[in-house]
Chain A
Amino acid sequence: MKIIVCIKQVPDTKGGVKFNPDGTLDRGAMLAIMNPDDKAGLEAALRIKEQNGAEVTVITMGLPKAADVLREALAMGADKAVLVTDRVLGGADTWATSTTLAGAIRNLEYDLIITGRQAIDGDTAQVGPQIAEHLGLPVISYAEAIEVKESSVVVKRQYDDRYHMVEAKMPCLITALAELNDPRYMTPGGIFDACAAEITTWGRADLKDVDDANLGLKGSPTKIAKASDKVRKGAGEKVTPDSPEEAVSYIVGKLTEKHVI
């Protein structure tokens, strides 16, 4: 079977967010990593490959340096990698991004598409379901477990207070949660091979059945009116009491002052 995994290169917010002296976000100082939900999706695909046999193709849309996450994916065990990059695709919102990725995926054969639920920079969770919509596929979001059968997949779909075991016919699209698994590390041999591996690079001209009016900044229905780094709530008091008793009387004092007790 053939699996496509959509991945995104994102700035790492976990390793500490860096701020400029003026309080704005210092994006340049943060490491670029493979988005965690996407990495879990890739790991799920690699496990299917080990158990059932599959060809795994990773695809990303971004600047040329996004090839780094494709090489990481190859080093983990992906078979092929596609980079979609073109100046006219820049500034895309989720509609234009999903249109672009769907246009690229139409060139590929697949039984299953896996995306991360959401990326840690935008946090929208929209691109996966929107790709499925553009391609006319069934979608199962928020996957906590995936089992491949003959011509279908059974997915544990998480909701706020429950989960559903859901079966969908292939081809279909699944969005993966980071909780799905613990992604493997790259192997030294994998890294060596990945450095030499060829990455297919596609631009606007390679996208199938898409209209220019739906691409890039111009093709994005949503427009940014204003963007700012959030004004963070200032720290209040911090005390280091000498004993638990002192800590307790401090807290009780504050709760009394604020009429909580």
Chain B
Amino acid sequence: MNLAEYKGVYVFAQQVDNEISGIAYELLGKGKELAAKLNEEVTAVLIGHDVKGLADKLAEYGADKVIVVDDPELKEYRTEPYAHALSSVINEFKPEIVLVGATAIGRDLGPTVSARVATGLTADCTVLEIGDFPLVAIPGKEAEQKHNQLLMTRPAFGGNTIATIACPDNRPQMATVRPGVMQKIEPIVGAKANVIEYNPGFTPNDRYVEIKEIVKAVSDTVDIMDAKILVSGGRGVGSPENFKILEDLAEALGGTVSCSRAVVDSGWKPRDLQVGQTGKTVRPNLYIACGISGAIQHTAGMEESDIIIAINKDEDAPIFSVADYGIVGDLNKIVPQLTEAIKAAKANK
């Protein structure tokens, strides 16, 4: 493998139902920054069917080039045709860095592609930088230190440890990146994409699974990752009906409701409202945790929030160790009164 052959930062521009996922823009934002440090370009790889029309959108969010792989076999996400598409792009264009969203799609596509092109993959990254490996040269072996490497930082162990990983001897350097962590750029309105169409050919075989049915979760709620204020409920809320008091509070604050895994596992709320390690990472301006004990799997997904308020009956609940303001008390009594007080305070303005 001639490492110097590999150039440029490539981003898998995930789309679902021909709508670009937010993570694609976040990756472009980060990819652009990394590419600038390397004096290279950022390229979006858009895979799907009838998706060429989405390319300009990717240019608006910073893509210097857009490689479009368009084929009827790529209409819905399936591991094999998508892995074939992305690994063929890698083999043909030889990128130095490939970023994929750590979504339910990317966490399947990433490992398959990295194994196929025989390179390393670092999962669920939260920080990406360009730097040296080793970080500090080994005395007497200064010449062996590699520069301009992708340094990928990720939490592990349920968020209790953090590791920085490099991939010094293989290319591309691949990472999946947690949604909600990287910043997208202000869109450049009217930007036109420099499109390269590429089709490696798709011949169905036994590895092409058959989709029998697609069932979409019915949800008219705001994506909790975009919310500025979240009122989040845990098992302590007591019942699905009782979430009403949280919804009222969220409405009064102009926010939305999210929840812990326990609530989803109990069937009280749909999965797309779940915050935490196996749910979504959120960073709102205000996070009010009601009746959430605060297992590390939960706090890993919300501890970056600007202000955290926790209301819990149990004064030893671990949520208090990450809360800026902790209130030991009964949410059933506090939350409805808080809603009224906030309405009153807003009305007085």
Is the Cβ of A138 less than 8 Å from the Cβ of B80? yes
Is the Cβ of A165 less than 8 Å from the Cβ of B165? no
**Which A117-136 residues have C-beta < 8 A from chain B?**
120-130, 132-134, 136
With A13-B158, A244-B330 as known contacts, state yes or no: A159 contacts B165, CB within 8 Å: no
Q: How far is the CA of A241 from the CA of B326 in the complex (A)?
A: 10
Is the Cβ of A94 less than 8 Å from the Cβ of B121? yes
B121-152 interface code vs A (CB 8 A; 1 in, 0 out): 11110000000011100000000000000010
Q: By DSSP majority rule, is chain A's interface helix, strand, loop, or mixed?
A: mixed
What's the nearest-Cβ distance from chain B to residue A129, in Å?
A: 4
Residues of B within 8 A of A94 (CB): 111, 121, 123
Chain A residue at minimum C-beta to C-beta distance from B159? A230
Is the Cβ of A162 less than 8 Å from the Cβ of B338? no
Is the Cβ of B345 less than 8 Å from the Cβ of A241? no
Is the Cβ of A130 less than 8 Å from the Cβ of B115? yes
Interface stretch, picked from A38-46, A51-59, A139-147, is A139-147
Q: How far is the CA of A220 from the CA of B77 in the complex (A)?
A: 29
Whether, in the assembled complex, B262 has its beta carbon less than 8 Å from a beta carbon of chain A, the answer is: no
Residues of B within 8 A of A68 (CB): none
Q: How far is the CA of A248 from the CA of B337 in the complex (A)?
A: 7
Whether, in the assembled complex, B196 has its beta carbon less than 8 Å from a beta carbon of chain A, the answer is: no
Whether, in the assembled complex, B324 has its beta carbon less than 8 Å from a beta carbon of chain A, the answer is: yes
Residue among A161, A239, A241 having the largest count of chain B Cβ atoms under 10 Å? A161
Q: How far is the CA of A49 from the CA of B275 in the complex (A)?
A: 35
Whether, in the assembled complex, B242 has its beta carbon less than 8 Å from a beta carbon of chain A, the answer is: no
Q: How far is the CA of A181 from the CA of B124 in the complex (A)?
A: 26
Residue among B163, B295, B297 having the largest count of chain A Cβ atoms under 10 Å? B163
Is the Cβ of B160 less than 8 Å from the Cβ of A222? no
A239-261 interface code vs B (CB 8 A; 1 in, 0 out): 11100110111111011101011
Interface stretch, picked from A83-91, A166-174, A200-208, is A166-174
**Which A51-98 residues have C-beta < 8 A from chain B?**
93-95, 98
Whether, in the assembled complex, A150 has its beta carbon less than 8 Å from a beta carbon of chain B, the answer is: no
With A142-B104, A244-B330 as known contacts, state yes or no: A221 contacts B216, CB within 8 Å: no
Is the Cβ of B315 less than 8 Å from the Cβ of A140? no
With A133-B116, A179-B265 as known contacts, state yes or no: A225 contacts B212, CB within 8 Å: no
Residues of A within 8 A of B135 (CB): 225-226
Residues of A within 8 A of B158 (CB): 13, 17, 120, 123
Q: B163, B272, B286, B309: which contacts A224 (Cβ < 8 A)?
A: B163
Whether, in the assembled complex, B2 has its beta carbon less than 8 Å from a beta carbon of chain A, the answer is: no
Whether, in the assembled complex, B325 has its beta carbon less than 8 Å from a beta carbon of chain A, the answer is: yes
Residue among A128, A154, A228, A238 having the largest count of chain B Cβ atoms under 10 Å? A238
Is the Cβ of A222 less than 8 Å from the Cβ of B166? yes
Q: How far is the CA of A228 from the CA of B76 in the complex (A)?
A: 40
Q: How far is the CA of A133 from the CA of B207 in the complex (A)?
A: 10
Q: How far is the CA of A14 from the CA of B157 in the complex (A)?
A: 11
Residues of A within 8 A of B161 (CB): 25, 227-230
Is the Cβ of B157 less than 8 Å from the Cβ of A221? no
Q: How far is the CA of A158 from the CA of B324 in the complex (A)?
A: 35
Q: How many residues of B contact A (CB 8 A)?
A: 94
Is the Cβ of B112 less than 8 Å from the Cβ of A158? no
Whether, in the assembled complex, A160 has its beta carbon less than 8 Å from a beta carbon of chain B, the answer is: yes
Is the Cβ of A254 less than 8 Å from the Cβ of B108? no
Is the Cβ of B334 less than 8 Å from the Cβ of A164? no
Is the Cβ of B119 less than 8 Å from the Cβ of A221? yes
Chain B residue at minimum C-beta to C-beta distance from A13? B158
Is the Cβ of B160 less than 8 Å from the Cβ of A126? no
Is the Cβ of A161 less than 8 Å from the Cβ of B307? no
Chain A residue at minimum C-beta to C-beta distance from B107? A125
Whether, in the assembled complex, A237 has its beta carbon less than 8 Å from a beta carbon of chain B, the answer is: yes
Is the Cβ of B214 less than 8 Å from the Cβ of A162? yes
Chain B residue at minimum C-beta to C-beta distance from A241? B329
What's the nearest-Cβ distance from chain B to residue A34, in Å?
A: 16
Whether, in the assembled complex, B322 has its beta carbon less than 8 Å from a beta carbon of chain A, the answer is: yes
Whether, in the assembled complex, B209 has its beta carbon less than 8 Å from a beta carbon of chain A, the answer is: yes
Among all A-B residue pairs, the 7 with the closest Cβ atoms: A221-B120, A222-B120, A238-B326, A133-B115, A236-B324, A124-B123, A126-B111
Please list 15 pairs of residues, one from A and one from B, whose beta carbons are closer than 8 Å in the complex, sorted by A's number: A13-B160, A17-B158, A95-B118, A129-B79, A129-B108, A130-B112, A133-B112, A160-B271, A222-B166, A225-B164, A230-B160, A232-B321, A244-B329, A248-B337, A260-B229
Known: A221-B170, A244-B330, A254-B309. 14 other contacts (CB 8 A): A123-B123, A123-B156, A128-B111, A141-B107, A160-B104, A160-B272, A162-B215, A166-B211, A221-B167, A236-B323, A241-B329, A247-B327, A251-B338, A260-B285
